[in-house]
Amino acid sequence: MSSTARIFLSIQVVLGCWWAAFHPGLFSRDSVLYLSHTLAGPWVSDHSVLYDGLLWLSFAVTGDLGAVTFAQTTAMAGALTWLARSLVALGAPRRATIAVAVLMPLTPPVGAFTVALWKDVPFTICAVAVAAVCARIAARRAVTGRTPLVLGALLLGLGLFRANGFLVVGVTVLALVLIVRTMRVRLLLAGLCAAALPLMLTNLVFPLFGIVPPARTYVYHTAFGDIAVAYRELPTRFTPGDLDLMTSVAPLKRWWEGGTCYSINPLIWRQDFDWRQADAHASELLALWRRLLASEPRTIVEARLCRGSIAWRPGQYEGATGGMTYRFSLRPNADTYVGPGKVTDFPGRGVYSLRPLSMALNRVAEPWLTGALAPAYDWLLWRGATWSYVTYLAVGLGAWVLRNRYVAGVAAVVAGQQLAILVNISAQDFRYMAAPIFVGMLLLPLLFDCGARASPPLRRLGFGRAAGPP
């Protein structure tokens, strides 16, 4: 058996244990909604149509959802193996990099996340694979062969699995074009297709099959959140006409209480916020937002930076409404998510219930997961900002020590995700920045190795030796 196969199987076995412990998978309100609107209707493209379709197919064929989460464990094992081998090929220490790859699935941010019924899981798998392709480019010091085609397919996955994926694609491709010296036009074309195709499908193709475009409130909800923040901080800037408009959607008390900059959830996910009225008055609300952006740009920009702090601030805002990092919902079934004003009920909703295949594994995994959710570990395990900075430091040192500018390309997708979230995100959910955590963890051996080459004390501890063969 090849070393690559051994790495893959080692990761797959651990992820398979997480799958058996939390079968058919961990879930949240969004997870239940994915299947609800495909079965009870209307099918709405608020989330990933591709992922909704995978859940529907699994339910239709098997009567359960475990096939999807098991497929996620296999794909994640493949992506982590690919990235580890690619990093070794470009010069990362072999044993340490493989050891990190094999141990990573033991951690809850990797293991539990992989078996969650979220579109963010396949999105993260694609992002990790993009980093792997970029590491291979760095190992060859050139873009060769079918690399633009493979990269384009993975970037397309980013757009198909997350609504803001096109932003990640755009930043990633622009970063790569600045780094590489060959096939720049092909990379740009691959990125353009990957960014444009999901938007075209959502607006032109899916409606032909009865899949409704996202509600205007869903599309512009972060702008509505900005209005709420401005109203709470600068109420005198609002005219009587503005207040009448806002009142037609929700009581002014809701706008004030929803004016926390950390999350839009206290605004739009409350029963006194009328989504139908918000959709009907979306154009007027956007006009109000544009006026506030022109007259009070600092307030709007600060609201976006605050909401996107999951991407740049290592620590959470404890005690602030919406400021805590959201990791997982550990509710045993979907009962609390389904009902009037919530998710529409649907036949077979019982599939959203934790039914471990092994109670022995569950008794080990559950306390391991809940213990890792303690606030003391938040900055290390659950905040992608920390690992984004680790990534930039690692590739910077790697590019300098290895005399290889292409190493910086490994961080392109991390930068894409970080900047996209700073522009437009709704809450402090760890899953939005999972990929930087995974990539950053696997770059630790390269960071220590390259740092040691310029640091004799670290070299004496065993770092900085020549890497083994790929």
| CA proximity to 427, closest of 322, 316, 277, 275 | 322
Cβ-based neighbours of 237, under 8 Å, separated by 6 or more: 230, 292, 295, 296
Is the Cβ–Cβ distance between 221 and 282 less than 8 Å? Answer: no
Task: Provide the pLDDT for residue 462.
Answer: 53
Asked, as a colleague might, if the bond just before 42 is cis with ω within 30 of 0, I would say yes
- For 322-350, how does the pLDDT look when each residue is reduced to its tens digit (9 = 90+)? 889 999 988 889 998 987 778 889 988 99
Strand partners, 116: 26
* Residue bearing tokens 């009037």: 340
Is the Cβ–Cβ distance between 448 and 463 less than 8 Å? Answer: yes
Coil/strand/helix, residue 120? helix
Q: What are the helix (H) ranges across 180-261?
A: 184-200, 216-219, 221-233, 240-247, 252-257
Task: Provide the pLDDT for residue 467.
Answer: 40
- What is the length of the chain? 470
- For 345-381, how does the pLDDT look when each residue is reduced to its tens digit (9 = 90+)? 998 899 999 999 999 999 999 999 999 999 999 999 9
Low-confidence ranges of the chain (pLDDT < 50): 461, 466-470
Amino acid 430 reads F
Locate 384 and state its tokens: 């992608």
Amino acid 82 reads W
| CA proximity to 421, closest of 216, 120, 202 | 120
Locate 216 and state its tokens: 């205007």
Is the Cβ–Cβ distance between 87 and 139 less than 8 Å? Answer: no
Radius of gyration from C-alpha coordinates of the chain: 23
CA triplet 375, 440, 2: central angle to 5 degrees? 120
- CA distances to 74, 148, 428 from 159, rounded to whole Å, are 21, 16, 21
3-state SS record for 307-330: HCHHHHCCCCCCCCCCCCCECCCC
Task: Provide the pLDDT for residue 469.
Answer: 38
pTM over 0.75: yes
Is the Cβ–Cβ distance between 213 and 206 less than 8 Å? Answer: yes
| CA proximity to 239, closest of 272, 283, 278, 288 | 288
Is the Cβ–Cβ distance between 89 and 433 less than 8 Å? Answer: no
Task: Provide the pLDDT for residue 317.
Answer: 82
Task: Provide the pLDDT for residue 454.
Answer: 60
Task: Provide the pLDDT for residue 341.
Answer: 72
